Amino acid sequence: MGLNPVFPGNPRQGWQFTVRINGFDAAVFQKATPPEISVEVDEFASGGSVRNHKYAGRKTVGECTLEKGMFADKGDLDAWNWLTQAVNSTTGDQGAPSDYWRDVDLCHVNRVGQVIQTWHMTEAFVSQISWSDGEGESSEHMIETLTLTVGDCEVR
């Protein structure tokens, strides 16, 4: 499975992570921190027991951080539009979750574009964007850090 040559995702250029949103290649990033997944531990001492019994509690999913990247079509505008679907900073209106939640696949690819591992995230949305310092002669990436808040995640 190779990457589309018009897409700026040539893995030989350091783009090691592709982001698919709702099944479509949307962005490439040089560095990614997949969400941390943990299970809370519940303890319970039943009547007459001399020790606590431990049980698995709620699953918690952390944030996904993507660094040094770019979106395929409209650059930073795609990320900005996704962020403003959650909260419009101009009007102060909050969107409905169905408007901004997306299914996102974070794919780690090798040097020839083959997927090594995929993190499938559901109910994901952009919660923070930071841009790199602009330089007139630089053609470097524009998004320095993109943070996704994630509802659930599974590794494939």
Q: What is the CATH number of the domain that holds 33?
A: 2.30.110
Q: Indicate whether 5 pLDDT > 70.
A: no
84-100 pLDDT tens trace: 888 765 666 777 888 88
Do the domain assignments include residue 110?
Answer: yes
Residue-level pLDDT at 55: 92
Residue 80 lies in domain? 11-155
Is residue 1, in this structure, part of any structural domain at all? no
Does some domain include residue 5? no
Residue at 54 is within a domain? yes
Interval 24-80: pLDDT, tens: 888 889 999 999 999 999 998 888 788 898 999 999 999 999 998 887 765 557 777
Question: Under the phi-then-psi rule, with left for phi > 0, alpha for psi from -120 to 50, and beta for the rest, what region is 113?
Answer: left
Number of domains composing the chain:
1
Q: Please give the sequence-ordered ranges of beta strands (E in DSSP) within the chain, or none if there are none.
A: 17-21, 24-33, 37-44, 53-61, 64-71, 102-109, 115-131, 143-149, 152-155
